[in-house]
Amino acid sequence: MKHTYSSKLLEDAVEEFATLPGIGKKTALRLVLHLLKQDDRDVERFGNTILRIKQEIITCRVCHNISDTEVCHICADRYRDKSTICVVESIRDVMSIENTQQYSGVYHVLGGIISPMDGIGPADLTLDSLEARVKSGECREVILALSTTMEGDTTNFYIYRRLKEYPVTISTLARGVAIGDDLEYADEVTLGRSILNRTSFEDTFKKMGG
């Protein structure tokens, strides 16, 4: 639907919002009209927050996670196990794993995965910095937690080749039928993998604190 805007500034604002992923012109207009109805102070805070995120948010120089400080609070936490590094694609994955409250090691955010189709090669990722961390000697295990796509597998393999000379264990996330899911609805690849990589019942039970 074509829109006839009565204000150039309104149109600009709608165009800006419509550049966001998943936001079309119609939704963008609704958002802008909503903002127009809010208090001056609230809208000012909104605008200023957007200005600040680019100016002030930095990435942790150790793990490349988003941070307000030079070293993020996970890397700076002395209770976290620095000998285990979980390699993830993005900071969203860090959040997901943190939410499980099951992981006490540290992270390494790659900033993407190797994807020739999108023009992303190893040099675009934080791989040198990962190797440097492993080389420094403190690390004993690297957990590869990338997505199970072709690009994820390629990246896993690339990292494996770069790190295999170092005295570290390289592991990947367990893949299998999700807890609560019926076997009959699981796809064959997942079900097949979960049979191949079956785990000792006693071990699992113990890990869960049983």
Q: Which of 61, 77, 95, 128 lies at the binding interface for a second copy (CB under 8 A)? A: 95
Which is nearest to 64 in space by CA: 128, 120, 115? 128
Instruction: Output 37 or 198, the one with its CB closest to a second copy.
Output: 37
Instruction: Give the separation between CA 166 and CA 190, rounded to whole angstroms.
Output: 31
Asked if 44 interacts with a second copy (CB under 8 A), we say yes
Give the full edge-to-edge strand order of the sheet including 105-109: 105-109, 81-88, 141-144, 169-172
Selected range binding a second copy among 70-78, 121-129, 154-162, 195-203, rule: CB under 8 A:
70-78
Q: Which of 24, 34, 132, 207 lies at the binding interface for a second copy (CB under 8 A)? A: 34
Tokens encoding 177: 């039928």
Type of residue at 5: Y
Q: How far is the CB of 67 from a second copy (least distance, A)?
A: 6
DSSP 1-56: -----S-HHHHHHHHHHHTSTT--HHHHHHHHHHHHHS-HHHHHHHHHHHHHHHHH
Q: Which of 80, 82, 98, 208 lies at the binding interface for a second copy (CB under 8 A)? A: 98
Q: Which of 61, 92, 206, 207 lies at the binding interface for a second copy (CB under 8 A)? A: 92
> Strand 105-109 to strand 141-144: parallel, antiparallel, or no bridges (unpaired)?
unpaired
Asked if 25 interacts with a second copy (CB under 8 A), we say no
Q: Which of 54, 78, 161, 164 lies at the binding interface for a second copy (CB under 8 A)? A: 54
Alpha helix positions (H), the chain: 8-18, 25-37, 40-56, 73-76, 91-100, 127-135, 150-163, 188-196, 201-207
Selected range binding a second copy among 66-74, 131-139, 154-162, 167-175, rule: CB under 8 A:
66-74
Selected range binding a second copy among 52-60, 78-86, 149-157, 182-190, rule: CB under 8 A:
52-60
| Residues near a second copy (CB under 8 A) | 1-10, 12-13, 16, 19-23, 27, 29-36, 38, 40, 42-57, 60, 65-68, 72-74, 90-92, 94-95, 98-99
